[in-house]
Amino acid sequence: MHEQDRALSLAESVLTAAKAADQAQVTVTITDASYARFARSYVTQNLESQQTNISLTYYIGKKAGTVNSADASPDGIARLVAKAKEIAQRVPPDNDFVSLPKPQEPPAAVPSFFASTSDATPDDRVEKLLPVFARMKRSNLYCSGFTTTQTQTLAIANSLGVRVAYTGTNGGIQVKAMAPQTSGYAEAYALDYSTIDTEPIAERAAMKATVSSTPADFAPGRYTVVMEPSAFQSAVKALLEGIDASNVLDEKDSWMIGRLGKPILSPNFTLRSDWSNPQLANPPFDPSDGSPVKKFTFIDKGVPLAYSASTYMSNKFHVPATGVANSMVIDPGTKSYDDLIGSVERGVLISRTWYERVVDPRQAAITGLTRDGVYAIENGKLTKALKNFRYFVSMVEVMKDVEFSNRATLCEPEDDLGYQCVLPDAKIANFNLAAQTSFA
Amino acid sequence: MASYASAAARILDSATKAGANYADVQFWTIRSENLFVRNGDVQDASDSRSLGYAVRALVDGSWGFYGSDRMTDEDFDRAAVAATVIARSGTKVVDRIPAITPTQKTVATWETPFTRDPASVSLGERANHLLAVEKSMHVAKNVIAGYAFMNVWTTGKEFYSTNGSAIVQTIRQAGAGCGATAIGKDQDAQSRGGPGDFGLYQGGGYEVIEAADLATIAPEYGREAVILADAPALPSGVRDLILDGTVLNLQMHESIGHPLELDRSLGWEANFSGISWVTPDKVGKARYGSDLLNIYCDNSMAGGMATVGYDDEAVKPERVPLIENGILRAFLSSRDTAAQVGLPQTASTRAQDWGSVPMVRMTNIALAPHEGTLDSIVADTKDGVLVSGMRSWSIDDHRLNFQFGPQIGYEIKDGKRGKIFKQPTYTGITPQFWGSLDRVGGPSEFRVWGTPNCGKGEPEQSGRTTHACSVARFKDVKVGVKADA
């Protein structure tokens, strides 16, 4: 792993230069990300970006200064250290800080690097798209979306002896097929780009865009909905945003408060943090400080059991450190996707949602809108495309009655929230579709 | 900023030799100074610097982009060739609308005006200011958390093109804010903070931090958080709704700024940011709102977060009317998008940084002031709700159906403020909502509000935007919407 060695070596050089600090942590990230974006069935943005970032946090007692830079030259490292030290000397202390983590042997990482992804060329990416454009043309559709290949290396070293590094790849495609009044969406993500077959993705998006040519009205109200993984990931965010010690103990704005240990959710619902899930393959250490990430269960058969805690929160509140939970896995059920839909007498299939916002974190109340394919399910079959809905639900309430499909799908990384999910499709009862829009 | 003219010449030469019909390169030096205090502790004191360059190459009407922070001659050559190879790969798609080739040559320098150099304020002084602000919000025992922050951003850009353009700019932006969380008798946690949806963000130097006036507003935020923690939720109903500037500016951002991005209207953002309910064929015809709705784009506006001498494809900004007396007039545009539909360019092409592709962004928009003040509009309201501060917001991908959740609602009865409500949510449909606009405040309360983190694009880029406004009133709005699950 050439880039891992480079990143660790760089971190070591910075740490050596910062040896006068009481404690110090260096984080080096090297990222290479490529995207071919398309709209109206041609490539509109075609890009690659290569970035290195060196972050040093320099501690003098409880006072800390953090400086980021990409300059790995000896002069650049000297400037980085001097600036971080200067900040640490000048700012008041962070009294909640106790210590950086001490070295602990992290578990062995699972395979996460695939040359087929890291070595993909611009032509490789565009050639993945040509069958997608051809499929759209056959049905007089346009499409919009992107395909991406990414490689990221992360190395962390601290003055107490932590030395960890990781390299992972990720590839993906999103396709939104667009008819004049309707649309359909499909996506696929994989660590190994060569395993992504774009023809079935295009077929699925095109099929959904042509279920019917005109979106129908459907009275707002409470329905049984089937949320495909992309949509479900967005809704379940209302729960995921409240499962850290920072929410439960510090901000006190978590739905978990007063509900730990109580059977308040469906016994079908188990949520785990599992960095070793082979579809995710995240690093076995906390990307914020290099401490080992524990595998643990947040919700076991409907009972909220535990919350995550970083080293910082663990020290502050004297609770066990778990590391940041960035690998969310919901246990699948037993029914196939088709059987899940087949079990709905009258309901709604939701492919994807948009602009979700947690309105009341204590109730995990979230609002958002459906997009890119919402359909009526009648007597177990998709019967027509519908205009979009605004939903507004308490996930604590609606997850009392949920059933999952047997397929576990890797979803688009939630980069801004810092986690990835592997989720099944979810059939949720009493889901409040509060209002309908005028379009699909 | 050091001059990168010779490195740029090498890159442009390499791109031309690799087959580019046109190329440009922009070097960026980015400095980000951030300070965040919480509950008496300095939790983040950071100073980040980044140097890199963005190469754009055009081959047969297809753009390629390569961003890098590797700075040897070999790296420059590699980046130039890579951008050209990427551009060429797009030509494999036969059915496409070719991009136009830039032709103008511009040589210029520009710098954001400022009155107080941030370098004149020590880190210790900044930290002590924020700690004092944060402390002043703890007005009662049930204030469980307080925070205060400031950001100072300085960005140097050097743009060079194969047309001979050479543009050197220094862009300064800053912002500050604070907030408090209190817990009520039923353990409900409520927050109050600002100013603005995130803080006060403007183009300029340390004077922006001073203009946020955190020391004055912080104790009031603490007091209001305490009241909110035990306040009732706003009852459901249809009421007249007054938005102060802290809410109105985000309402403009979501339901006017975004739908008027021309790339979105043309479908280029359909998979992520979405499309728009207005299209170029509706220019001059579509009624966006009442006669009081006058919106313009001005990327040379004093204090604007998006104020520049030239945008990231070397276009000089001018003031462009977007909506006049409620009628759609133009869109926020780039060179390519404007050319496709024959509308004016608004110099609204921006990239987040050297690693990000430039694209159409919401830049500086403004709601032209009309008459009156917040107090006079309140006095003129018989039965309504005044809302302030932002907690949650959501709008569909056509930018029509929205639901906003401000922090605090003040009942208005017979022209006077009454009860305080938590969760004063409201919902509406864009043209109907703006059609119900019946009061717009005057110039005395017109303020340049900014947002530091507007998301758009794949990969997502964070943009810095401005939505200048005063205050406004809307008739018969659905308020107090509930999850009801």
Q: Do residue B45 and residue A258 have CB atoms under 8 angstroms apart?
A: no
Q: Which of helix, strand or coil describes residue B7?
A: helix
Give the pLDDT of residue A70: 87
Task: Specify whether the CB–CB gap between B127 and B45 falls below 8 A.
Answer: yes
Q: Which of A69, A94, A435 sits opposite B42 (nearest CB)?
A: A94
User: Which chain B residue has its CA at the smallest distance from A185's CA?
Assistant: B271
Cβ-Cβ contacts under 8 Å, B95 against chain A: 41-42, 133, 137
Q: Which residues 378-407 in chain B show a CB within 8 A of chain A?
A: 391-398, 400-401, 403, 405
The terminus-to-terminus CA distance of chain A in angstroms comes to 47
Structural domain boundaries in chain B: 5-229, 237-479
Among B25, B31, B42, B68, the strongest candidate for a mutation testing the A interface, having the largest count of A CBs within 10 A, is B42
Fold of A2-209: PmbA/TldD fold (3.30.2290)
**pLDDT(B485) > 50:** no
Tell me which range, A246-250, A308-312, B259-263, is most confidently predicted by mean pLDDT. Answer: B259-263
pLDDT of A242 reads 95
CA distances from A25 to A167, A246, B163 (A): 19, 22, 46
**B189: nearest CA in chain A?**
A253
Confidence of residue A418 (pLDDT cuts 50, 70, 90): confident
Give the tens place of pLDDT for each residue, A262-313: 999 999 999 999 999 989 878 899 999 999 988 999 999 999 999 999 989 9
- DSSP alpha helices (H): ranges in A217-306? 229-240, 245
Say what the pLDDT of residue A440 is: 79
Nearest-CB residue to B394 (from A127, A355, A388): A355
Q: CA nearest B391 in A: which residue?
A: A359
State residue B414's pLDDT score.
98
Write out chain B residues lying below 8 Å of A251, CB-based: 144-145, 181, 189
Residue B189's closest CA among A253, A238, A239, A242? A253
Which residue in A287, A356, A363 sits closest to A325, CA to CA? A287
Q: Which residues of A touch B44 (CB under 8 A)?
A: 66
| 3 state DSSP class of A126 | helix
Q: What is the mean pLDDT of chain B?
A: 96
Contact A354 B397 (CB under 8 A): yes
Dihedral class, residue B284 (left if φ above 0, else alpha if ψ from -120 to 50, else beta):
left
Report residue A96's pLDDT band, with 50, 70 and 90 as the boundaries.
confident
Q: Tell me how close the Cα of A71 comes to any Cα of chain B, in angstroms.
A: 8
Is B267 close to A39, i.e. CB distance below 8 A?
Answer: yes
The whole-number pLDDT of residue B2 equals 56
Length of chain B: 485
pLDDT digits 0-9 by tens, A106-159 = 788 888 999 999 999 999 999 999 999 999 999 999 999 999 999 999 999 999
Between the alpha carbon of residue B477 and those of residues A419, B248, B384, the distances in Å are 37, 14, 9
Kindly provide the b/e burial profile for residues A278-313, where b requires at least 16 CB atoms within 10 angstroms of the residue's own CB.
ebbbbbbbbbbbbbbbbbbbbbbebbbebbbbbbbb
Count Cβ–Cβ pairs < 8 Å, chain A vs chain B.
273
Q: Do B394 and A368 touch (CB under 8 A)?
A: yes
Binding-face residues of B in 341-370 toward A, CB within 8 A: 355-357, 359
Q: Which of B52, B124, B270 sits opposite A70 (nearest CB)?
A: B52
Range list of β-strands (E), B163-235: 166-183, 189-194, 200-203
pLDDT class for A179, splitting at 50, 70, 90? very high
For CA atoms B399, B405, B407, B413, give the dihedral sign: positive
Rounded to a whole number of angstroms, the distance from the CA of B291 to the nearest CA of chain A is 24
Chain A residue with minimum CA distance to B455: A416
Q: Distance from A78 to chain B by nearest Cα, in Å?
A: 14
CA angle A396/A397/A399 to nearest 5° reads 70
> What are phi and psi for residue A405, nearest 5 degrees?
-80, 175
**Candidates A392, A402, A416, partner chain B, best to mutate (most B CBs within 10 A):** A392
Using CB atoms, which residue from A92, A123, A178 is nearest to B127?
Answer: A92
The pTM of the full predicted model, rounded to 2 decimals, is: 0.94
Q: What are the φ/ψ torsions at residue A202 (nearest 5 degrees)?
A: -65, -40
State whether B50 and A252 contact (CB < 8 Å).
no
Indicate the average pLDDT of chain A. 94
The DSSP result for A316-354, as a single string, is HHT--------EEEE---SB-HHHHHHT-SEEEEEEEEE
Beta bridge partners of B46: A66, B34
Q: How confident is the model at residue A99 (pLDDT cuts 50, 70, 90)?
A: very high
Of A415-429, B30-44, B272-286, B368-382, where does mean pLDDT reach its minimum?
Answer: A415-429
Phi, psi of A329, deg, nearest 5: -130, 125
Q: Are A385 and A374 in contact (CB under 8 A)?
A: yes
Q: Tell me whether residues B394 and A63 touch, CB distance under 8 A.
A: no
Our CA dihedral for A205, A384, B276, B324, rounded to 10 degrees, sits at: 170
Distance CA B370, CA B469 (A): 10
Out of A144, A397, A416, closest to residue B271 by CB: A144
Checking if the pLDDT of B366 tops 90, the result is yes
pLDDT at B1 over 70: no
Residues of B in contact with A360 (CB under 8 A): 423, 483
From A33, A355, A432, residue closest to B485, measured CB to CB: A432
Q: Give the DSSP per-residue string, B365-386.
A: EEE---S--HHHHHHT-SEEEE
- N residues, chain A: 440
Nearest Cα neighbor of A236 from A11, A425, A55, A63 is: A425
| A339-350 pLDDT tens trace | 999 999 999 999
Residues 100-129 of B with CB under 8 A from A: 122-124, 127-128
- By C-alpha distance, the chain B residue nearest A56 is B46
Question: Is B261 in CB contact (< 8 Å) with chain A?
Answer: no
Contact assessment for residue B114 and residue B204, using Cβ atoms and an 8 Å cutoff: yes
Instruction: Tell me, rounded to whole angstroms, the distance of Cα B18 from its chain centroid.
Output: 37
Q: Is B43 within 8 Å of A94 when comparing Cβ atoms?
A: yes
> For residue A263, which of A237, A308, A300, A238 has the smallest C-alpha distance?
A300
Has residue A63 got a pLDDT over 60? yes
A27-52 mean pLDDT: 96
Angle between helices B214-229 and B123-136 (to 10 degrees): 30
State residue A1's pLDDT score: 57
pLDDT digits (tens, 9 = 90+) for B325-337: 999 999 999 999 9
Fold of B5-229: PmbA/TldD fold (3.30.2290)
Task: Give the residue from A384, A383, A379 showing the smallest Cα distance to A342.
Answer: A379
Query: Do A186 and A207 contact (CB within 8 A), yes or no?
Result: no
Cα gap A149→A129, rounded to integer Å? 13
C-beta separation of B330 from B283 below 8 A: yes
Q: Are A45 and B63 in contact (CB under 8 A)?
A: yes
Q: Give the residue with greater pLDDT, A417 vs B142.
A: B142
Nearest-CA distance A224 → chain B (Å): 12
Residue spans of the domains in chain A: they are: 2-209, 221-436
pLDDT at residue B484, rounded to an integer = 57
User: Cα–Cα distances in Å, from A103 out to A121, A282, B179, B333?
Assistant: 39, 19, 37, 52
